[in-house]
Amino acid sequence: MEEYKNSYEQIPMRKGRKSKKRNTLNAKKVLFVIFLILLILVVIIRTHKKDNDSYNNLGENTTQVSASTDDKTEDETSNKDKPKKEITDWRLTLVNYENLLPEDFEIEVANIDETRQFDARAIEYLNKMMNDMRKSGISNVWVQSAYRSVERQKELYDNSVNKYINQGKTQEEAEKLTDEYINKPGSSEHNLGLAVDFNYVDNKFEDLKAFTWLQENAENYGFILRYPKHKEDITKISYESWHWRFVGEEHAKKMNELDMCLEEYVEYLQNVDE
């Protein structure tokens, strides 16, 4: 009986010791978790400060910490708040339906031949590309159209609109149809002097060896297919196999690697962290 009593008494004692141990263990765990959370908070706040120097007050830091529980929210928050970087590289000048060239836009052009001109800073790359293409046995390729003044662009645009009007379209319909292939004056890359159209300026060009060669090699000379089929919804220009744009070798290669058209690539550069 005594033995039983003793052992009975021992049980709660042992239990007590055990739970004391467990309490110590739990306390250690809790301290460790608190330490981890503090560490994560410090890292988040420091990263955030680096991201944006204007985030100096506590209120915004708190917002950032709570946003960080959801990666998506955090990304969206920081992208929205981060100022976009300015792209100053002349080779990446974006000209399209919403980015018109300023009226006073001027470039120095050099002659491709008697009638055609290209940006003087980029013409050597165009010439080298054409020469190497011919050296590789492709002879039926020529530059049909390159630099075009804004006045010339206006002429082309108006001619096209008139053509459709003569076919019975309204002014609005005619402009819509024209917009698919001809940019409004000031919004064409040809006004910029960094784009070339090859051969007959139609999509039969993609059946030629020249097109295949360009797809494989143009990036080495800094040229990209500017209006690909699968980017029509972004460029707002119908697929043009004949229209190639100079952006410089490193950008052309990166754009092909990322499968981005110029609109996407410029936006990517504006937001990317160095």
Which residue in the list 240, 250, 263, 274 is annotated as catalytic? 240
Q: What is the CA radius of gyration of the chain?
A: 32
Alpha helices in 150-201 (DSSP H): 150-166, 171-179, 189-192
C-beta of residue 118 within 8 angstroms of C-beta of residue 110: yes
Q: Is 226 in the site for Zn ion (CB under 5 A)?
A: no
| Minimum gap (Å) between residue 145 Cβ and Zn ion | 6
Q: Kindly indicate which of the ranges 35-43, 132-140, 231-239, 243-251 contains the residues binding Zn ion, using the contact rule CB under 5 A.
A: 243-251
Nearest to 191 by CA among 126, 100, 260: 100
3-state SS assignment for residue 202: coil
How many CB atoms are closer than 10 A to CB 32?
A: 10
Q: Between 23 and 238, whose beta carbon lies closer to Zn ion? A: 238
Q: Is 179 in the site for Zn ion (CB under 5 A)?
A: no
Q: Is 219 in the site for Zn ion (CB under 5 A)?
A: no
- The residue within the footprint of Zn ion, chosen from 197, 211, 225, 248 (CB under 5 A), is 197
Q: Between 67 and 224, whose beta carbon lies closer to Zn ion? A: 224
Which strands sit side by side in the sheet containing 195-198, from one edge to the other?
Answer: 143-145, 195-198, 240-246, 223-227
Residue count at the site for Zn ion (CB under 5 A)?
A: 2
Q: Is 148 in the site for Zn ion (CB under 5 A)?
A: no
**What is the DSSP secondary-structure string of 20-76?**
HHHHHHHHHHHHHHHHHHHHHHHHHHHHHHHH-TT--SHHHHHHHHHHTTSHHHHHH
Q: Kindly indicate which of the ranges 1-9, 18-26, 208-216, 240-248 contains the residues binding Zn ion, using the contact rule CB under 5 A.
A: 240-248
Q: Between 164 and 181, whose beta carbon lies closer to Zn ion? A: 181
Q: Between 77 and 203, whose beta carbon lies closer to Zn ion? A: 203
Catalytic residue status for 274:
no
Q: Kindly indicate which of the ranges 7-15, 129-137, 194-202, 217-225 contains the residues binding Zn ion, using the contact rule CB under 5 A.
A: 194-202
**φ, ψ (nearest 5 deg) of residue 160:** -65, -45
Residues in CB range of 228: below 8 A, 6 or more apart: 235, 239, 261
C-beta of residue 234 within 8 angstroms of C-beta of residue 261: yes
Q: Please give the Cα distance from 204 to 151 (Å, whole number).
A: 28
- The residue within the footprint of Zn ion, chosen from 243, 260, 262, 266 (CB under 5 A), is 243
Q: Kindly indicate which of the ranges 2-10, 133-141, 164-172, 239-247 contains the residues binding Zn ion, using the contact rule CB under 5 A.
A: 239-247
| Minimum gap (Å) between residue 80 Cβ and Zn ion | 35
Q: Between 189 and 219, whose beta carbon lies closer to Zn ion? A: 189
* Nearest position to Zn ion, beta carbon: 243
Q: Among all residues, which ones are annotated catalytic?
A: 240
- The residue ranges that bind Zn ion (CB under 5 A) are 197, 243
